[in-house]
Amino acid sequence: MSLDIVILGVFVADTAYRASRQPKMGETILGKSFALGPGGKGSNQAVAAGMAGASVGMLTRLGRDPFADMALTTWSKAGVTSLASQHADSYTGAAYIFVDDSTGDNAIIVCPGVAASLGRDDIDAQQEAIENSKVFLTQFEQPLETAEYALMMAKQAGVTTILNPAPAAEMPASLLALCDYVTPNESETEAITGMSVETVEDATKAAEELIRRGASAAIVTLGENGCLFHDGTEAKHVPAMSAGPVLETTGAGDAFNGGFAAGLAQGMSPLEAIRFATATASISVTRQGTAPSMPARTEIEALLHKHPA
């Protein structure tokens, strides 16, 4: 079996609560709605890449429970191949998501469950799939040392490597050196570099620092301001695209990363893949639901047609 993309990450069942604000400690408030659905950064990225037309495999650990069934069903619908092992002695991950009803902004607590024990054995079991892929993508919801081991395996095989360093964590230079692309948002960039990112100029300086520390290229995502791409030679600001009113930002970064991986795997140049990723994320934030609703390739191409380079 040959896959365009292998994604190492976590699936969690999202429990999403919409309310006017978060409660204070010791306080109970009434929410406006509740929804249960599939999530987890790695899983979301795999779904985004699959919906965007790429052949993608999802490498993780699941329990043997209803949330695991939800994961397998979600991937199947998006055309994602499961590279997951299942374990009856622990649980499939879950997440609490607070969504501000007026802005769509969110705050999240993730419990990875059995995926927190992802290790080298899991990576070794899928060595053939990783080494035969075109693009390898991972994040930090599973152990950092497992992500580093998998990135090293992919890098040594000549596979294009992408690290989405989320949630934010301290990163050794050895890890950044394994990244063809590193894709932090503003807060993650600050956590890694110590540099505040509020403007495109800030993002340029921070991207230069990420490259100085070892990354081959950096993409600093800037929400409604698009993203800043630095390839080690020059910086390029790619603006956001309007696809309609923003209803919810949950999963926008995952949509971007999945779309970017899909674009690269399908032979696009880095800038073309970034525009493809930007369109993917721009559509995702216009949809409100239990989990990020990733757009199909035809929708992405239609938005790109409206926003020519």
- Residues marked active site are found at 254
- How far apart CA 130 and CA 207 sit, in angstroms, is 27
Q: Comparing C-alpha atoms, which of 105, 138, 127, 112 is closest to residue 250?
A: 105
Total number of residues shown for the chain: 309
Residue 309: both structure tokens together: 């380079």
| Rounded CA separation 298/205 (Å) | 35
If DSSP codes are grouped into helix, strand and coil, which group holds residue 153?
Answer: helix
Helix (H) or strand (E) holding 7: strand 5-8
Beta bridge partners of 6: 57, 136
Q: Tell me the sheet residues that pair with 35.
A: 16
User: 38 in helix, strand or coil?
Assistant: strand
- Residue 192 dihedral angles phi and psi, to the nearest 5°: -80, -45
Residue 132 in 3-state DSSP?
A: coil
